[in-house]
Structure 1
Amino acid sequence: MEQDLLKRVEEIQAISAVPKILETVAAMTGLRFVCIAHVTDESWTACAVLDKLDFGLQPGGELDVTTTLCEEVRDCGRAVIIDSVHDSDQYREHHTPRIYGFQSYFSIPIFRSDGQYFGTLCGLDPEPARLSDSVTVSTMHLFAELVSKQLDADNKLVTARADLLTERETAELREQFIAVLGHDLRTPLGSILLGTEVLALKHPDPDTRPVVERIRRSAVRMASLVDDVVDFTRGRMGTGIVMTMRDAAVDLTLEQVVDEMRGLYPQRVIEAAIAPGLHLHCDPERIAQLLSNLLKNALVHGSAHTPVSVSASLAGREFVLSVMNEGDELPQSVIAHLFKPYWRAASRSGSEGLGLGLYIVDQIARAHGGTIEVSSNGGTTAFVFRMADCVAA
């Protein structure tokens, strides 16, 4: 019970407008004691106080609710306004004015938006005051309604923050779990790949060779999916995709990516024009991953009957890497979503991957201070990665 009362006091104290409301009401009415009280069947608790009478109440202070007129306001749900107790037939002999020694008094009910009674905006003074004129009454009701609306707004904000924190914690735990799972999957996948190489060397049986190769390709694809998930979770958890920037030759690295993709897609033609002697300041493994993801995207979603073209070269001090494929033209509405995680266009027939490849391409490009552009015209779709001022010293 005490904790609940303390919470109600804190709710009112948290409303920054409350002190100004109390000051305005006091100035408007001339009353020297104004407060906001939380009122229940058993208690009357001051939540905010303006006291120029030395009445002795502070926020959190309590009165016997049976000695107050706020009990009446709670029971009937209507305001009590007294200009002068001496002139009031209803309250002249009432015990409350005698106990607290006031002549003028008001108590305006405060309700929450769901209709639940919270308490009152109330005030008193030993001297009579003109409180019952329509302007004063409507203004005091307006202030009580303002407090009510602010109470509900603050409660909704607290609830929303709590929900957001819970959702964020759940998302972080989920992403941490995925990252750990991805890390732990790499070891058995490495064993599978090693096993396929041993089988191919020690048992070169033409009948089993296709099976071994199929296992190898599946393991490579699984490893790629795991890498994509781990990179994605790192990016979403704030640590970002890990980069190791250094001066390195990338032409042979890019050629190796093309050769690997030719092995994974033997039925497809990949035409490559990679300038020799490319020395860049970059993370060469990540540049290779970028090309690999772009090539997979082109091979999966492009026309199966035309070559995929790769080019890499320097234009001045700018490195330009492009991947082009023939196929259906992509509308701008699809291009606008291509680099979002887990997104696939309904019109795109390929089902390989998790929809993270192009998202990771974009993240690698950004981490290198570069850009990735997409164009799709006349049946040709091109992805172009540009990175300026990256030539190794």
Structure 2
Amino acid sequence: MGGPGDILQTDIDESVAAIARLSVVPRILDAVVRATGMRFAAVARVTENRWTACAVRDELGFGLQPGEDLVLETTICNDIRSHRQPVVFGNASAHAIYSQHHTPQHYGLQSYASVPIYTVGGEFFGTLCAIDSRPLAVDEEKLATEMTLYGELIASHMALEGRLAHAERALRSSMDEGVLREQFLAVVGHDLRSPLQAAGMAAESLADMDLPPRAGRLAKVITASARRMADLIDDIMDFARARLASGIPVAQLDQGDLGALVARVVTEVAAAHPAATIVSEVDMPGNLRFDPVRLQQLLANLLNNAIAHGDTRRAIRVDGRAEDDAIVLAVTNFGTPIDPATQGMLFQPFYRPESATPRPGLGLGLYIASEIARAHGGTLTVCSSAAEGTCFTLRLPLIGA
């Protein structure tokens, strides 16, 4: 049976892993380095016993890696854990307090910035900090405000990650469908919206501040993060409709040219991914009946999936045609073929193939795409080989106006 030390190590390991899963953290650390002018930045888990690096940006050569510790008593973060206030200074040697503090002397620091990070429940998690051996001219109050917003953004993403993980575990367990539906409503209606609201409020606060131009970069990070959280919430809502209700709703209206919609989506996705090449050849009859919003979502999911998993040196193909009594739309990419045993799992919710490179998202994109196809009375299938590439094929019944 494990003792208290084992429990503490488990907590530290989980904290390091949780921060590592947040794709926004490297961008935040990059922004912190730029904002402070300091060459080392880190997210640290700070407890009453340990200081552990969870994520690191090191241009200083400090030599600390994620998962490694500093002696807690040698850090200013230990003081922050007690008084819960930001600490920022640009020249330790000339500072009234920190010229005599043991931390700058121990590590040879001159400039320093650190702010507390709290969990969604208000508990102290650790710090977002930056250091340098050079003295730097910093506006201590403004830098503390900006760093605090970065810390709040990390906390928001931690909360989102935790709630999504909890929701996924709940979905994989065998429980009453009514309870499951209630949990989803609670997660989507409140628990996921709260971090999104916090990120939005941070962006609004930045817009009202008289900060240097670098604050614009922070606003962009927060805006992009809020957009990503909104997309995740939309995916979960679609999942709830498909799995717990009567399916994803579609409005099959007279929308004219499906080919024009395909061209528009291809253009938008290509613009968002300039490194990718997408070749489109679509010849479809006009005046078809379909839900343009949902089919645009389906095609964008397929194209983004092809970009994420395909060989970027080869073009992605989009082919569309009328075939007998159906419309056939195929998206093909080239790269490592999908194992036949895996192909049957691709349209399952929350399924993500194992990869050495962490990928964003919940693993709902292909599931939602297949449900949109089903809601139109169609099918979405996949075939994959080294010679022919990986092809996702949408077949919709040919229904005219």
What is the TM-score when the length of structure 2 is the normalising length?
A: 0.48
**Which structure's CA Rg is the greater one?**
1
